[in-house]
Amino acid sequence: MSHWTPPPRPEWVQQVIDEGRHMDISSLVSLEAEELMATACRNTGYDDFGSNEWLQGFHVFLRALDEEADLHLWGRLMTRSDILRWLEARLHIEAVYAQHPEIEDEVIDQPVIVTGLPRSGTSIVFELLAQDARFGSPRNWEIMFPCPPPEAATCHSDPRIERCEHLVTQWSRVVPTYAAMHEMGAEIPNECIVAMSCTFMTENLPGQYQIPSYNAWYYQQDLGYAYTYYKRMLKLLQWKNPRRHWLLKAPSHLGNLPVLFDTFPDARVVISHRDPVVAQASVTNLLGTLYWMRSSAPFDTRAFENLMTPEAGATRLNGIVDLLEASEVPGNQVHNLLYADLIRQPLHALQALYRDMGADLTAQTQKAMRDYLEHKPQGKFGNHQYRIGEQHETAHKRSLYHRYQHYFKVPDEV
């Protein structure tokens, strides 16, 4: 992490940041709790945020932003815009449920949930499985603007799509190198933790800001509320736009398998496995880039030592093995996929995955997957460059990750 170097900024972004250096930007762009809530109520015409489980995380997050994140002018503007959308989403969701309590009767049937180490291929697995017509995923625009509930007849022509497209692609205009790391678009599915942002209890927040106090708070929480609220959102999204089975994804589910199965007892969980040495180097670059969008503060590696060290990573990975060996999660509902197999022979890897899930991979779905791969070759949006580390560091990490790699038969990449 100490070797990470920020990418150059576009001139227009740097000019905005420079103009803000001598302004009182904390007064100009308020991130004060009561003002944000009042603005969201005024914008929507509603005043019911639902039950209060979200409030503690909201206040911890805002305090961390104020004391630790060191946001520049453009970063504060992006952040205020995001927070208001999350608050407004809560208000709209509560209003729709109050008007239509029957939404609670919607059934989330056997969702397929993709997880794995960050940068281990979870995104491409997710995108390929999305080519199966039996699955439906929450698109970026549905997550960003869930109300009024999307309808099947207009799910590809809704005017919210255009607004969302501009906002999600803004990230790559602020830091162009981000486009090589993660494709963004209004109709592209997004991760569960992004939808959980309106609970203010999600890894999406420390994934965008250097806020160690929020990190410390988050990892002490019972995440049952965040998962339950997310399930409530999914019911609303499928109410007028049905999905046969939801296809969901977030790397952070890997550390939350018990609460995941508590919330979705009949879920089928697909875990993508990659050499942790390589995955760790890649996620460091991603985090640094995300922080650089909103702050000019140096990447504070010390703030992430408890999360990003090889020792901490090995503990979390060994925890998955412990859960499976102790049968604390349903092993017959956990399906493993090697990143190395996916890259080498993607369709063969997916055929094996479908067999393991007891599902039929039809010829039509295979064609759709093949077409998708042809239009999205590896590196289409640029090469994602990152450093692995010195040889002695790699050997040390390899010894820590041995149990995980041996259990899941994960090959070395370096």
pLDDT at 23 over 90: yes
Domain of residue 170 covers 106-408
pLDDT for the residue 114: 97
pLDDT for the residue 380: 45
Asked, for residue 257, whether it belongs to a domain, the answer is: yes
Rounded CA-CA distance 5/180 in Å is: 16
How many structural domains comprise the chain? 1
Asked, for residue 117, whether it belongs to a domain, the answer is: yes
Query: SS3 sequence, 191-259?
Result: CHHHHHHHHCCCCCCCCCCCCHHHHHHHCCCCCHHHHHHHHHHHHHHHHCCCCCEEEEECHHHHHCHHH
Q: Are 297 and 6 in contact (CB under 8 A)?
A: no
The band of 288, judged by pLDDT with boundaries at 50, 70 and 90, is confident
pLDDT for the residue 35: 98
Q: What residue type is 90 in one-letter code?
A: R
Asked, for residue 388, whether it belongs to a domain, the answer is: yes
- The neighbour count for residue 241, using CB atoms within 10 Å, is 17
The band of 309, judged by pLDDT with boundaries at 50, 70 and 90, is confident
What is the rounded average pLDDT of the residues 180-197?
90
Residue identified by tokens 């999660």 is 329
Rounded CA-CA distance 312/243 in Å is: 38
CATH number (domain holding residue 395)? 3.40.50.300
What is the rounded average pLDDT of the residues 164-190?
91
Of 141, 143, 58, nearest to 93 (Cα)?
143
| pLDDT tens figures, 66-105 | 999 999 999 999 999 999 999 999 999 999 999 999 999 9
Asked, for residue 205, whether it belongs to a domain, the answer is: yes
Least confident of 213-222, 244-253, 347-356, 380-389: 380-389
Give percent of the chain with pLDDT exceeding 90: 78
Q: Are 231 and 113 in contact (CB under 8 A)?
A: no
Asked, for residue 89, whether it belongs to a domain, the answer is: no
Residue identified by tokens 């015409």 is 45
pLDDT, greater one: 235 or 396: 235
What is the rounded average pLDDT of the residues 149-178?
96
Give percent of the chain with pLDDT exceeding 70: 93
| pLDDT tens figures, 370-379 | 999 998 765 5
Mean pLDDT of the chain: 91
Distances (CA, A) of 258 to 73, 313, 316, 334: 40, 18, 14, 12
pLDDT for the residue 5: 83
What is the rounded average pLDDT of the residues 293-316?
77
Structure-derived torsion over alpha carbons of residues 288, 139, 143, 125, reported in degrees to the nearest 10: -50
The band of 384, judged by pLDDT with boundaries at 50, 70 and 90, is very low
DSSP lists the bridge partners of residue 34 as none
For residue 150, the SS3 value is coil
Asked, for residue 323, whether it belongs to a domain, the answer is: yes
Residue identified by tokens 């965008």 is 208
Asked, for residue 173, whether it belongs to a domain, the answer is: yes
The band of 213, judged by pLDDT with boundaries at 50, 70 and 90, is very high
Asked, for residue 190, whether it belongs to a domain, the answer is: yes
pLDDT for the residue 307: 57
- Torsions phi, psi for 271 (to 5 deg): -110, 120
Q: Which two tokens stand for residue 3?
A: 């070797």
Q: Which two tokens stand for residue 248?
A: 């969901």
Q: Which helix (H) or strand (E) holds 116?
A: strand 112-116
Q: Which two tokens stand for residue 181?
A: 């790391």
Of 22, 12, 146, 167, nearest to 88 (Cα)?
146
- The neighbour count for residue 168, using CB atoms within 10 Å, is 20
* CB within 8 Å of 34: residues ≥ 6 apart: none
| pLDDT tens figures, 41-60 | 999 999 999 999 999 999 99
Rounded CA-CA distance 225/203 in Å is: 14
pLDDT, greater one: 180 or 198: 198
Q: What residue type is 367 in one-letter code?
A: K
pLDDT for the residue 305: 57
